[in-house]
Amino acid sequence: MNTIKFKILGFCLCLFMISNNGQAQKKKTASATAATSYSIEGNITGLTDGTAVKLIPGATHSSELPVAETTLKEGKFTFTGKLKEPRFFYVVFGKSKGTISVMVENSKIKISAAGTVSDKEGEYITFKDVTISGSKSHDYYAKEIAFKQELQADYVEYHKGTEKIAEAYGKARVSGNKKAMDSIGNSPEWKAFEAKEKAFFTKVETKTSELIAKHKNNWWGPFFMMTSYSYFTPEQKPIYEQFSDAAKKSYYGQVVDKDLNPKSLVGTSIANFGLKDKDGKTFNAKDIVSGKKYILVDFWASWCGPCRKEIPNLKTAYAEYAPKGFEILSVSIDKDEKAWQKALGQENMQWHNLLDDDKVSKSFNVKAIPATYLVDGKGVIIGENLRGAELEAKLKELMKS
């Protein structure tokens, strides 16, 4: 009898082990599948069924097309795919009305949030209670950029109490009242604000440099470099050079390299374009350069230190060669029009200055600034990134011939 019991028990144990092994094998198979693909399951409240949802690559400094599109159904959406390494994406709702960013890796990722559609014109979507789970890369990303909350608090703090003087300065700038601008700019209150602002941006630069350097031996370094700078300037090249070979060969390493070292456009023709000046008046490039022998198309921004440092050299070249048929057309890529207007007042450039519409800079493949393109009278690019002594030497050579 006991022998029979033991046999039955043994048989049950065998079944249990077979069952467990089968489950383990299923889990192992599922794990292997998950390791080579990703799924993103979204659960969003507050938005209507049929709302468009797009998965768009981020951290590329370019306007990317969606890699997948769907619509909300009962607040839910799903995306699936495969990646060679983790990538940063934007989940965009509606016609670019609202966005949730997520670091995607080959795993099962869940996103939940409560959306609210604004009742104002544009019907923009905001989200709260955003939760993202299932992506270790996203968890790490969130941890590494947590310091930005501190920076945001610092930004708000140093702006407190400056609303009135900032408004007064803005009105003086708009009205062209240079005397009032100088008076406000020289006041103790304004100088104290500028000192705090300088300290803030020094802290931002330090924190950013530390974050990138910490990850110089893997793909995170180039990734954080892409997300830390909207545009690159020559000042960022040493940052890229610190990366290991593995980091440079990674997806984001190659993206950074492409932005820092864009493909040459010498020998190609430029298309006519129209942009607005500081007064809102539209100018066409062909009208500005009509009858000119050589034109320097200069892409810059108010916040770009190297760009601002180059302006005195441009003034020197303009003063000497403008009477001989040389023209400059500066195009600012500023997103903050007020900052651009302020810089124009400070720099006093005597040639046309227009504000980019995000299309013109892309047509020139501008990835880093300052970016200059020397164009001949036929509209053909004959030189790139000529600055200072190099521009002077090139113009001297051309004007002789």
- Across the chain, mean pLDDT equals 87
Give the model's pLDDT for residue 16.
34
**Nearest CA to 41 among 121, 123, 134?**
134
pLDDT digits (tens, 9 = 90+) for 115-139: 999 888 778 899 999 999 999 999 9
| Burial grade of 306 (CB within 10 A; 0-12, 13-18, 19 or more) | middle
Helix, strand, coil % (nearest 5) of the chain?
Answer: 45, 25, 30
- Is residue 313 within 8 A of residue 391, CB to CB? The reply is yes
Residue 10 reports pLDDT greater than 90: no
Provide the edge-to-edge strand list for the sheet that holds 108-117: 76-81, 38-45, 108-117, 125-133
Q: State how far the Cα of 204 lies from the Cα of 201, in Å rounded to an integer.
A: 5
CA distance 108 to 85: 15
| CB contact set of 71 (below 8 Å; sequence gap of 6+) | 49, 50, 51, 52, 53, 77
- What CATH number belongs to 38-136? 2.60.40.180
Instruction: Tell me the average pLDDT across 18-47.
Output: 64
Per-residue pLDDT for 252 more than 60? Answer: yes
pLDDT score for 120: 81
User: Tokens 């440079």 belong to which residue?
Assistant: 248
pLDDT of residue 277: 92
Mean pLDDT in residue range 351-378: 90
**70 or 338, greater pLDDT:** 70
Question: What is the C-alpha separation between 298 and 276, in angstroms, rounded?
Answer: 15
How many whole angstroms separate alpha carbon 215 and alpha carbon 238? 15
pLDDT at position 301 is 93
> How do residues 254-280 score in pLDDT, each as one tens digit?
999 988 887 888 999 888 899 999 989
Q: pLDDT value at position 401?
A: 62
What confidence tens digit (pLDDT) does each residue in 136-178 have? 999 999 999 999 999 999 999 998 988 888 888 878 876 778 8
Alpha-carbon distances, residue 378 vs 207, 271, 375, 385, 391 (angstroms):
47, 11, 8, 19, 19
Closest C-alpha among 356, 365, 352, 350 to residue 336? 356
Q: pLDDT over 70 for what percent of the chain?
A: 91
pLDDT, tens digit, 9 for 90 and up, residues 293-344 = 999 999 999 988 889 989 999 999 999 999 999 999 999 999 888 889 999 9
- For the domain made up of 274-400, the CATH class stated in words is alpha beta
Which tokens belong to 88? 């940063």
The single-letter DSSP state of residue 66 is P
pLDDT value at residue 145:
95
- Label residue 35 by pLDDT band (50, 70, 90): low
Tell me the pTM: 0.68
184, two tokens: 């406000």
The span from the CA of 111 to the CA of 131, in Å, is 6
**At residue 229, does pLDDT exceed 80?**
yes
User: Which amino acid is residue 195, in one-letter code?
Assistant: A
Q: Which residues pair with 102 in a beta bridge?
A: 89
